Structure 1
Amino acid sequence: MLLRYLLLAVAVLSLVACQSKDSKKLELKAADLIKFEETVKVKKQWSRAAGSGQEKRFSRFVPALDGEGGIYTVGYKGDVQAFDATTGKKRWKVKTKAEISGGVAASASGIYFGTYDGMVHVLNKDTGELNWKAKVSSEVASAPAGNSDIVVAVTIDGRVFAFEAETGALRWSYDHMLPVLTLRGTASPVLTPTQVIVAFDNGQVLSLGAKDGSSQWQLRVSRPQGRTELDRIVDIDGTPVLNGSYLYAGNYQGNVVAASRGAGRLVWSKEASTHNAVVVANNKVFVSTDESRIVAYNALNGELEWENFQLKRRNTSAPAIFGDYLAVADGYGYVHVLNQDDGQFADRFKLAGGGKMRRAAIRAPLLGDGDTLYTYSNKGKLSAYTIVGESK
């Protein structure tokens, strides 16, 4: 745990160095925003106060959609809220005593989140009442995943826990060895009716049987390289993506890969470094790299489609798809809207409360759903945006 926070402190110090007058350190300065011709207009549809928001330990609580018209938020003070995803009307709010660490996930069967003290909570989707909670081995640093069969959580000590969705009884657990030094955070598990797909901090993705946790296949996204522990960090902190018969994932100081969903067989691999989740749409895989290079690869063969390096070192978030466009937030509180076809800027807007990178308005990745883009600010403001037409 100490090493995880040590690595985060190193990252913060590197950002502070960007403000130095030293010429060498100025080379790390974030790119200035360029001017461009707006081709679309993004409009805010609604905005609601949604709890306590993000806390100082670098939480990145992303809202969760349940696929049935609901959107849910959690705040660092333990508050959980439900809204109508179309209108923003509040459905319910509960104040738990939980010190939430792992964000929130939702499905038709419940609302799931994890805590710093190693608890998994499952709430009733319609009322917010506690269905059950269960103890795990350590902090849950990512949102659990659940369906009508099981609820699965990954802990920072490399263990996976699967619980019965209805009762919270432990069905199985899996223990995976972790490297000495890792980034702060873990990927959420991905569930299918027969699989639990989990990405680990050693650069591996595993498919475990949903019924009993048995190993089905293993995929190596990249192998650790270098002499120091820092050089050898290959964390997968972005949740893998299933799209058709393929699985896509990317890792830090490693690669972006595509693999067969059924057997974990590597289809293609491209060198890239990211701690964000990739997204897949319209036969493209979109990636926001650690240097804030936004890249699109062909989803079938991995060939480079386009790249945009005009947000260099602006600390961009994972991409989000909405409509025919791609959106990323940066560390200065701006949201950038790009064309999926060529990566050119189409629109840009700034969230209220933006400023210096360490005081940015939004730390959580954006959430896209159809033609709607959702943002959840550090101070707990949930907003919905849509494209209203071409810019004039």
Structure 2
Amino acid sequence: MPVRILPLFILVTFLSSAQPTTGFSFAHISDTHIGNATAAEDLRRTVADINSMDSLAFAVISGDITEYGSDEQLRLAKQILDSLTIPWYIVPGNHDMKWSASGGRSFSVVFGSENFAFRHGGYQFIGMHQGPRMRMGDAYWAPEDLRWFDSVAAASRLGEERTPLIFVTHYPADSGIANWRAMTERLRKFNTQLLLNGHWHTNKFDHFDGLPSFVGRSNLRAREEFGGYNIITVRTDSITASTRIPGRRTRPQWASVAVGERSFTPLSPVDHEAIDIGNATLRWKHVAPVSMTSAPAVYGDKIAAGYSDGSVVVRRLKDGKELLRFKVPGGVYSSPAMDDRSIIITSSDSTIASYALKNAKRQWSLRTSAAIVASPVIHNGTVYTGASDHVFRAIDLKSGTVRWSFDSLQGFVEARPTIVGGKVLIGAWDEHLYCLDEGTGALLWKWKGEKRGTLLSPAVCEPVVAHGKVFIVAPDRFMTALDVETGTVVWRTNRFQVRETIGISEDGERVYVRTMNDSLYALSARSAQPEAVWSLHAGIGYDINSAQIREKEGIVFFASDNGMLVVADGKSGALLRTMKIGSVIAHTPVPLSKNRVIFSNITGTMMDIQWK
């Protein structure tokens, strides 16, 4: 039976008067990870088991439906779940959003929505996702999703009727969600009985900000003979959880929580939007009503940023005043590119488009066969960009004519290309780094590391080049130096435990990398071995943000996944200052000088900060 996501007017018109019944049971499935070796078989077994039982009213599936959110994996998951003979409701997880070639849009196309709301047995059920969308880092509640929750709560009269609420999301509601309190404070205003979560792949009963939570196991078998799911039973006095091994047995209950009218005392305040820039000056600030999943672009006296609702806004750099606004179908999950006359926008509706900065008129557009989440680059009158159709293109900036295309990629492109010395360097989500001829698109060489796995691809870092070497980092924790002419390995090390963040000094003498555990390193770009020049313990803690490192006038800027900006001296590594905006993933900083920077984050805050 297909997913049923009830419109709000239905909820209000004939469900709002429902009262709790004597009891019911439902299935809680989580972390199916379609794309994993046993995932499809494990899910089919679970579906068949659920269909064999007549005691389950519906099923909820709490995220990480797929291994990396590809259209093929999503469609297979939908095909299997469509075999259920009871209603089912679904939300995505980080694996469905972070590595999505469509910016997460395909989930809604396949399943109908990213969220759900319905009532059953006098209980209100609300399910929603918390990212992270397209960026590595902690999960977060996006402003548009918080508004959606508020609208459902209002339409369902949760506050007035004190309807018991069960809230479903992928991440448990702890600090793994950067702005977790934005949701737990909302939930504590209502008669919230239970949170249902996944993500941890194991059963656990916990409380988050006083809210009881059943964290459910993965449906995967892992090291066991069979996978499993949980049966949640709602009674008049309690809600319990028991693990079901498909076709085998139901294990004794592992969690129970009493039900009844709940009222919560106020929590100690946590300001997830707090700004601390020390003695610096805030020249201007803009907060968008929707997510911004990539850094803004600066050219001359203008700054432009793209947003998840398909809008792209161009502002005057000196004061942040809006100059132009574009609206494209789909979402914009990339950074635009600009020159004196044009702005290039790529979007999840599969188009690459050029607009005039003088009058906002579209000059040309090119439709590809899949979404685009890659950021374009303008270089010598040509637009270079990858796409999710596994094609990299060079397009004439003036006419929009494709000069050449490279169609031998086996995965989608996410990052900006690096163009230097007649070569185009780009990683893809197919394990490879590619080097193409700038003029013809011919493949000069390609390289991949010895560790296999799509999610270990060097696809997010922007390669840096100096002294005949190209430097990259990847999620396999290795930093690699390759000969830029041949692609052969000069050196390769996992000493620094890097991930996806890299940068280079303006003079080409130092390569900067951020480790996953608090440190920034500068390495010699000349050395034939990995030679550290200096290291800095920045005080950011464990960090997996994929923002890149920038240097301006000898000063290094890098950002963390909890909203911190670190500023250091490029030659010595001396820490100069730290600043913080909010608690969510921060983008690649855009330094305008050694003491002025554009700092932005994924929930849409953008600031121009300057200091003496």
Question: Scaled by the length of structure 2, what TM-score is found?
Answer: 0.47
Q: State the partner residue of 1:81.
A: 353
Q: 2:587 aligns with which of 314, 317, 322?
A: 317
Kindly tell me: are residues 173 and 54 of structure 1, through their superposed partners in 2, closer, same or farther at Cα, counting changes over 3 Å? Answer: same
- Which residue of 260, 267, 278 maps to 2:524? 260
**Which SS does the other structure have where 2:352 is aligned?**
strand
For 1:30, the equivalent position in structure 2 comes to: 272
Distance 1:24 1:197 in 2: 47
- Structure 1 position 123, deviation (Å): 0.9
| 2:504 pairs with 1:241 | yes
Shift, 1:30, TM fit: 1.3
CA distance in 1 between counterparts of 2:417 and 2:210 reads: 42
Q: Which amino acid aligns with 2:209?
A: S
Contact 2:513 2:549 in 1 (8 A): yes
1:55-87 superposed Cα distances (whole Å, 9 cap, x missing partner):
5xxx3x012246x765422122222233566x5
Shift of 1:290: 1.6
Of structures 1 and 2, the one with the larger relative CO (CA 8 A, separation 6+) is: 1
Q: How does 1:143-292 map to 2 (within 5 A)?
A: 143-147=416-420, 149-178=422-451, 186-191=460-465, 194-218=468-492, 220=494, 222-223=496-497, 234-236=498-500, 238-244=501-507, 245-253=509-517, 255-263=519-527, 264-271=530-537, 272=540, 273=543, 274-292=545-563
State the distance in 1 between where 2:466 and 2:400 align: 25
Q: How far off is 1:53 after superposition?
A: 6.1
Aligned to 1:92: 363
Deviation sequence 1:164-201 (CA, Å, 0-9, x none): 22222221111113476669961122346844332222
Give the conservation status (yes or no) of the 8 Å contact 1:198–1:205. Answer: yes
- Which aligned pairs between 1:360-375 and structure 2 lie closer than 5 A? none
Instruction: State whether residues 596 and 609 of structure 2, in contact with CA within 8 Å, keep that contact through their aligned partners in structure 1.
Output: yes
Q: Report the Cα distance in structure 1 between the residues aligned to 2:373 and 2:585, rounded to whole angstroms.
A: 22
Aligned partner letter, 2:425: V
Tell me the TM-score normalised to structure 1 length.
0.70
Deviations 1:23-51 (A, max 9, x none): 37978761445799966462426214163
User: Aligned pairs, how many?
Assistant: 323
Q: 1:34 to 1:174 in 2, by over 3 A?
A: closer
Matching of residues 35-46 of structure 1 within 5 Å: 40=283, 42-44=319-321, 46=323
Question: In structure 2, which of residues 564, 585, 598 is the aligned counterpart of residue 327 of structure 1?
Answer: 598
Which of these two proteins has the greater Rg computed from alpha carbons?
2
CA deviation after TM superposition for structure 1 residue 116, in Å:
2.2
Q: Which residue number in structure 2 is paired with residue 49 of structure 1?
A: 326
Query: How far apart are the structure 2 equivalents of 1:193 and 1:267?
Result: 16
Shift in Å, 1:159: 0.7
Distance 1:269 1:127, change over 3 A: same
Q: Distance in 2 between matches of 1:199 and 1:109?
A: 29
CA contact (8 A) 1:182 1:235 kept: no
Evaluate the alpha carbon distance shift between residue 336 and residue 278 of structure 1 in structure 2; reply closer, same or farther with a 3 A threshold: same
Offset of 1:138 from its aligned partner?
Answer: 1.7
Contact map agreement 1:251 1:275 (CA 8 A) in 2: no
* Letter in structure 2 aligned against 1:327: I
Cα deviation for residue 267 of structure 1 reads 0.9
1:182-235 deviation digits (Å, cap 9, x = unpaired): 699611223468443322222333232232212234465722xxxxxxxxxx52
Measured after TM superposition, the shift of residue 126 of structure 1 is: 2.4
Question: Which amino acid is the alignment partner of residue 326 of structure 1?
Answer: V
Distance in 1 between the 2:484 and 2:355 partners? 31
1:184 and 1:260 mapped to 2: Cα distance? Answer: 21
Q: Alpha carbons of 1:105 and 1:221: their partners in 2 closer, same or farther (altered >3 Å)?
A: farther
Tell me: CA distance 1:332–1:212, structure 2 relative to 1, closer, same or farther (3 Å). closer
**Could you tell me which residue of structure 2 aligns to residue 229 of structure 1?**
none
Structure 2 vs 1, CA of residues 222 and 239 (structure 1 numbering), >3 Å: closer, same or farther?
closer
One-letter identity of the residue aligned with 2:394: V
Secondary structure at the aligned position of 1:206 is classed as strand
Seen in structure 2, the aligned counterparts of structure 1 residues 129 and 186 have a Cα distance that, compared at 3 Å, is same
User: Residues 17 and 71 of structure 1: is their aligned pair in 2 closer, same or farther, counting only changes over 3 Å?
Assistant: same
Letter of the 1:241 partner, please give it. Answer: I
Find the aligned partners of 1:192 and 1:126 in 2 and give their Cα distance.
31
- 2:409–2:430 Cα contact (<8 Å) kept: no
Match of 1:356 in 2: none
- The one-letter code matched in structure 2 to 1:20 is T
Note closer, same or farther for the CA distance 1:17–1:121 as it changes in structure 2 (3 Å cut). same
- CA–CA distance in 2 between the matches of 1:125 and 1:133? 15
For the residues of structure 1 that align with 2:281 and 2:436, how far apart are their CA atoms?
49
- Alpha carbons of 1:90 and 1:261: their partners in 2 closer, same or farther (altered >3 Å)? farther
Distance 1:185-1:165 versus aligned 2 partners, 3 A rule: closer
**SS at structure 2 position matched to 1:20:** helix
Q: Distance in 1 between matches of 2:338 and 2:520?
A: 26
Note if 1:20 corresponds to 2:184: yes
Identity across matched positions, percent: 15
> What residue number does 1:305 align with?
576
Cα distance in structure 1, aligned partners of 2:464 and 2:436: 14
Q: Does 1:102 align with 2:366?
A: no
Name the amino acid aligned to 2:504.
V
Cα root mean square deviation, aligned: 3.5
Check conservation: 1:145, 1:152, Cα contact below 8 A. yes
Check whether the contact 1:83–1:92 (CA below 8 A) recurs between aligned residues. yes
